[in-house]
Amino acid sequence: MITLLSNRRFILYLRAEIFTIQSLLMKRIILLFSGLITFVILSAQDVYDLTIKASISDEINQEFISSGRLFVFISQTSRIQPRYQTWPNKSVHIFAVNIQDWDPSRSLMLDSTTEFVKTSEWTFSELNPGKYFIQLLWDQDQDESGINAPGNIYSDVKEIEIQKNTTLEINLDRLIPERIFKEDKYVKYVEFRSDTLSAWWDKSVFLKASVLLPSDFYNNPSGKFPVRYNIAGYGGRFTRSQNLLASDNDFKDWWFSGTAPQIISVFLDGEGPYGDCYQLDSENNGPYGYALIHEFIPFLEKEFRAEGIPESRFLDGCSTGGWVSLALQLFYPDFFNGAFSYSPDPVTFEDFQLINLYRDKNAFTNEWGNLRPAQRDITGDPVITMKDFVYFENVLGVDNTYITSGGQIGAFAALFGPKGENGLPIPIFDAVTGEIDYSVAEYWRKYDLVDYVKSNWSDLGPKIQGKIWIWMGDMDNFYLNPAMRKMEHFLNTASNPTSDAVIKFSPMQGHCWQYDQKEVLMMISEKIH
C-alpha cells in the first residue's frame, strides 16, 4: 500500500510538474508572440521625416523667374517621369506651394512645416519606409495653362529608399524647351494673331493649328478643296497632325496613296487661358468662337485654297473634341455642313457625369451619402471619385482650387460660368466641400446642348438636317452616356421638323473606342459626293 501510494503521489507530482512546465512554456510562447505582434504593429507605424533641399542650377539662372509655383512629385513607379503622372492616380502624390521672390542663390527647404496643397493624406513627416521616385518642377510660365509648358524648369528624377529620416538635395537644372514642329511639303504649321482676342485680353493672342494637305494638292494647283476641322480630346495641341503620321503608318500610307479623299485636314489647337478653350465664346476665356468663325477659318481657307463655302466645312472630334464639334455645328448651323461627334462631354448638365447640377446639393456625394465616381472601367468598377478628381485639380491651381488648374473641371468653369469680382471664373461647386452653387448652374444653362436644342428647335431643326452624327459607348468610362440618352430621346421625338440625326450607342464600349480618323474622312467624303 505504501509503495503503491508513493507511486501514485509520484505520478500526481509528475503530472503537476508537467502542467507547470507546459504553463510556463505557454506563457513564454504567448509573451514571444505578443512581442512579435507588438514589433509588427510598431514597425507598421514607423514613419520618417523627409526634407528636400531645392536649388536652382547656375546654368539656368538666366531663364529663372523668381515667383511661381513649386511642385513636388513623389511616385512609387518609375515607368515615366513623375511630372507626367498628372492624371489622378494613387501611385503619385503631388505637393504644391506658391513661392514669391525665390533667391536662386539660396536653397529652399521643404519639409512638414511647408504649407503645401497636396493630393496625399500624409505629410513630409509621415513617409512610410520604401522606395520612391521624386521630382521637382518650377511652374513659372505665364502663357500656357499646363504645368509641363515650355519655359518651366524641372529636376532629374531622384530614386530614394526611405528607411530613416532623410534630407534630399534636388537641383532644378532642366528647362522645358519650346515645341518643335517640323513642317514638310504636306504638313504645315499656322500661327495667327487674332485681333478680336488680342483686344479682349489687351495683349497679343495667337491661334494655332496644323494643316495636313491632301495628296493631290500640288498636282491640282488651281483646285479648291473641302476642309475637315478636327478638334482634339481635352487639351490636345496642334502637333497631333505630325504625331498621327509618325505613329500610324497605315494611315500615312493610305493618306498618300491617292485613294484617300482629297480633303484638307485642319487640326485646331485646344490651348486656352484656363485649359482647353473649347473654341467658343465665354465670359472668362473671351470671344474664341467669334475669332474662329470670323477670323481664323477665313484666313486658313484662303491660305490653303479651300472651297470656302458652308457645304464644304466639316467638324469631328472625340471626348472634348466630340462636344466642341457638336456645339459648333449647333451654335453655327449655317457655317458648317456636318459634325461627326464621338463620346462628347456632357451634353446636358442634368447629367454632368453622375451629377444633376440643377438639383443635386453636392458634387462629391450623392443623395445616399456615397462618394460619386468620376471614372469607371467598362465592367462598371469605379476608378476614381469626383472628390479625388477635383482635389487633384486643386493642387494644380495657382489659387489652390480647380479654377486655375488648367484641368477639365477648371476649363468647364471658365467656359460655362460667369466671371467673379476677383477676375476669375466663379466655381460651379465649392472646391473643398463640393456644395453646388445653383445660381452658377443656371448661368451654365446656355451651354446645355440638350436645353439649347429643345429651346431653339423650330428654327434650329431645319438647319441641322443631315448634319449630326454621334457615337457613344454605353459603358463610357466617364458616365457620358446618360446625358446623350436625353439628347437621343428629344431628337427621336422632335417634330416640325422630325430629326434625321444619327446617334449610335455601342454596348460594352468605352470612351472614344469607336473613333477612327480614316472612317471619319470616308464619311465626310460620302457626304460631299
The count of structural domains within the chain is 3
Strand-pairing partners, residue 13, are none
Q: What is the pLDDT of residues 437-468, one digit of tens each?
A: 999 999 999 999 999 999 999 999 999 999 99
Q: What is the pLDDT of residue 33?
A: 40
| CA-only gyration radius of the chain, Å | 30
- The C-alpha cell at 130 is 520604401
Residues 22-77 have pLDDT tens digits of 443 344 433 334 443 333 333 445 889 999 999 999 999 999 999 999 999 999 88
| Mean predicted confidence (pLDDT) in 114-123 | 92
Q: Mean pLDDT over residues 418-429, rounded?
A: 97
Q: Does residue 295 sit in the same domain as residue 198? A: yes
199 and 282 co-located in one domain: yes
Average of per-residue pLDDT across 255-269: 96
Per the prediction, the chain carries an average pLDDT of: 91
- Cα gap 380→510, rounded to integer Å: 10
CATH of the domain at 102: 2.60.40
Q: Kindly provide the b/e burial profile for residues 179-211, where b requires at least 16 CB atoms within 10 angstroms of the residue's own CB.
A: eebeeeebbbbbebebebbeebeeeebebbbbb
Residue 36 lies in a domain: no
Same structural domain, 162 and 300: no
- Would residue 403 count as lying in a domain? yes
Within a domain: residue 17?
no
Distance set, CA 313 to CA 218, 240, 309, 528 (Å): 21, 20, 7, 10
Are 243 and 320 within one domain?
yes
Separation CA 79–CA 131 (nearest Å): 14
The vertex-83 CA angle with 81 and 85, nearest 5°, equals 80
Task: Mark which of 175, 204, 226 sits at the end of a domain.
Answer: 175
Contact (Cβ atoms closer than 8 angstroms) between residue 374 and residue 434: no
The per-residue pLDDT for range 503-519, each reduced to its tens digit, is 999 999 999 999 999 99
Residues 332 and 455 in one domain: yes
222 and 311, same domain (yes or no): yes
For residue 369, count other CB atoms closer than 10 A to its CB.
7
Does 38 map to a domain? no
Inform me whether the pLDDT recorded for 10 exceeds 80. no
Grid cell for residue 280: 467658343
Same domain assignment for residues 64 and 142:
yes
- What is the rounded CA–CA span in Å between residue 98 and residue 224? 52
Q: Is 354 exposed, middle or buried (0-12, 13-18, 19+ CB in 10 A)?
A: middle
Q: How far apart are CA 347 and CA 478, in angstroms?
A: 13
The answer on pLDDT for 1 being more than 60 is: no
Q: What is the pLDDT of residue 87?
A: 73
- Of 175, 203, 235, the position where a domain reaches its end is 175
Distances (CA, A) of 143 to 70, 175, 224, 236, 326: 17, 15, 36, 16, 28
Q: How far apart are CA 185 and CA 168, in angstroms?
A: 50
Quick: pLDDT tens for 135-194: 999 999 988 888 999 999 999 999 999 889 999 999 999 999 998 899 999 999 999 999
Mean pLDDT across 403-417: 97
Residue 11, pLDDT above cutoff 80 = no
In one-letter notation, the amino acid at residue 238 is F
* Region 196-220 average pLDDT: 97
Q: How far is 41 from 59, CA to CA, in rounded Å? A: 48
Report phi then psi at 473, rounded to 5: -80, 135
Quick count: other Cβ atoms within 10 Å of Cβ 13? 10
**99 and 233, same structural domain?**
no
The model's pTM is: 0.89
Domain that holds residue 55: 50-175
Do 375 and 469 sit in the same domain of this protein?
Answer: no
Q: Which CATH number fits the domain that encloses residue 337?
A: 3.40.50.1820
Residues 106/54, Cβ–Cβ less than 8 Å = no
pLDDT of residue 229: 98
| Residue 345, all three cell numbers | 462631354
Of 92, 60, 97, 95, residue with least CA distance to 78: 92
Secondary structure letter of residue 447 according to DSSP: G
Rounded to whole angstroms, the Cα distance separating 424 from 401 reads: 11
In a domain, 30, yes or no: no
Percentage above 90 pLDDT, the chain = 84
Last residue of a domain, one of 420, 446, 472: 446
Q: Are residues 483 and 385 in the same domain?
A: no
pLDDT at residue 492 in the model: 96
Residue 416 shares a structural domain with residue 305: no
8 lies in a domain? no
- Cell output for 84: 507626367
Residue 32 lies in a domain: no
Task: Give SS3 for 426.
Answer: coil
pLDDT in tens, 326-376: 999 999 999 999 999 999 999 999 999 999 999 999 999 999 999 999 999
With respect to residue 211, please indicate whether it lies within any of the assigned structural domains. yes
Examine the domain organization and report whether 473 and 452 are in the same domain. Answer: yes
The values of phi and psi at residue 318, to 5°, are -130, 145
